[in-house]
Amino acid sequence: MPRWMPFSGAAPSTLDADEVPGAISKAEAALAADDSLTALEWMRAASAARELPTQERDRVQVLLERAANRRIEVLATEPGGAEELADLVDLDLPRQIAVQAGMRSAELMVADGESLDAYAVLKRLDTKFPLHYERQRAGDMMCDIGLVAIQDGPGFMGWFSTQDEGQEILEYVILNAPWARRCDEAYRALSDVYEKDREWDLAIDRAQKLVLNHPASPLRVEAQARVPHMRLASIKSPEYDRSQILIARDELQVWLLAYANRSELESAVRVDLGDALRRLSDNDLIVSRFYHRVDNVFGARSHAERAVAEAREAGDDERVAQAERWLAELPPAPPAESEAPALAPGAKP
């Protein structure tokens, strides 16, 4: 229910069919006197009457739209008019009129610096009329509101920030208005916030969806590079996270195949690739030492050899030397017919 019913009570809430001609006359007189509120009230009641002749119902509809359009024009110029326009959304008015009132209300609220209230109105429209004819513009407005709100940092003693509201709005947009013009920016802003909060799964997911859902976006190249960067940042130990390091390495290599010599991000991506390769080398040395402890020469040597190769690909001479020294300390390789060992815990082939 609306918080305040923007009607005078001059007309009853319902009418019988035989009362409608009188209601039409009263509405016409009210419109002639520029009393759009009274006219709208009478026609709202008349539109709910049952068993009206087609011609009469059409006349009611025309007058209802005239009264509503005039009422919207009047409220748009009055103090507090935005709130009264928002109330019209919750009344039993035809969809087109309710949507028109809601959109005008939201526009006025944004202009008055009440963007979060505007979002609430737009969301109400979206909930009540999911396929309304202004949903493109409404989605764009919600996205614009969210992008401004999410950039607001903490205020005095951490109070008065709109970042949480912005995050909520943009999450709503990417789910319910993915056609919004700046939806790719919404994905990036959300990913940035989650990355800052070290919510890695969410940060990676939003960046990945930017890449997937907006392939033509100018933000795509950067997002595709950020995914493996964040994946590496989320890994705490090379001992148990080899699978994620491998995924990051592959993502970085794919990026370089697509964008090498075409993006200023290339140097940063190569740094991340070197990081991934060094971590893989460290992981292989850990696994090699495990196999050595359990007297599995085949496993120890194969992982040590891979550690050397990964360190060399990373261009890390110190790690290359360390892995080569370890490899030299291991016993000779067993005969070729020896059975390959089971993998060490957490190891990947």
**How far is 175 from 193, CA to CA, in rounded Å?**
17
State the amino acid at position 76 in one-letter form: A
pLDDT of residue 122: 97
Mean pLDDT of the chain: 90
**How far is 310 from 275, CA to CA, in rounded Å?**
11
- In the chain, DSSP finds a helix count (H) and a strand count (E) of 15, 0
For the chain, the straight-line distance linking the first and the last C-alpha, in angstroms and rounded, comes to 62
Question: What is the band of 347 on the pLDDT scale with cuts at 50, 70, 90?
Answer: low
pLDDT of residue 336: 61
**How far is 189 from 163, CA to CA, in rounded Å?**
11
Choice between 2 and 81, residue whose per-residue pLDDT is larger? 81
* Tokens at 210, concatenated: 């930017």
Domain ranges, ordered by start, for the chain: 182-223, 235-349
**How far is 218 from 210, CA to CA, in rounded Å?**
10
DSSP 193-216: HHHHTT-HHHHHHHHHHHHHH-TT
Cα–Cα distances (Å) from 133 to 95, 103, 271, in that order, read 9, 11, 49
Mean pLDDT over 26-53 rounds to 92
Closest to 152 measured CA to CA, from 193, 114, 121, 117: 193
**How far is 254 from 270, CA to CA, in rounded Å?**
12
pLDDT of residue 279: 95
Q: Coil, strand or helix: which one is 129?
A: coil
Residue 68: pLDDT over 50: yes
Q: Residue 328 burial (CB < 10 Å; 0-12/13-18/19+)?
A: exposed
Q: Could you tell me which residues come within 8 angstroms of residue 123 by beta carbon, excluding any fewer than 6 positions away?
A: 142, 172
* Tokens at 334, concatenated: 């067993």
Q: Count CA atoms within 13 Å of residue 81 on its CB side.
A: 18
Closest to 221 measured CA to CA, from 191, 259, 272, 183: 259
What number of other Cβ atoms are within 10 A of residue 155's Cβ? 10
Closest to 281 measured CA to CA, from 316, 230, 250, 255: 316
User: Rounded to an integer, what is the distance from CA 346 to the centroid of its chain?
Assistant: 34
- Segment 159-210, tens digit of pLDDT: 567 899 999 999 999 999 999 999 999 999 999 999 999 999 999 999 999 9
Please tell me the pTM assigned to this model. 0.85
pLDDT of residue 159: 54
DSSP 231-283: HHHH---TTT-HHHHHHHHHHHHHHHHHHTTT-TTHHHHHHHHHHHHHHHHHH
Question: What is the band of 344 on the pLDDT scale with cuts at 50, 70, 90?
Answer: low
Question: What is the band of 236 on the pLDDT scale with cuts at 50, 70, 90?
Answer: confident
Mean pLDDT over 208-236 rounds to 97
Question: What is the band of 10 on the pLDDT scale with cuts at 50, 70, 90?
Answer: confident
**How far is 249 from 105, CA to CA, in rounded Å?**
50
pLDDT of residue 272: 98
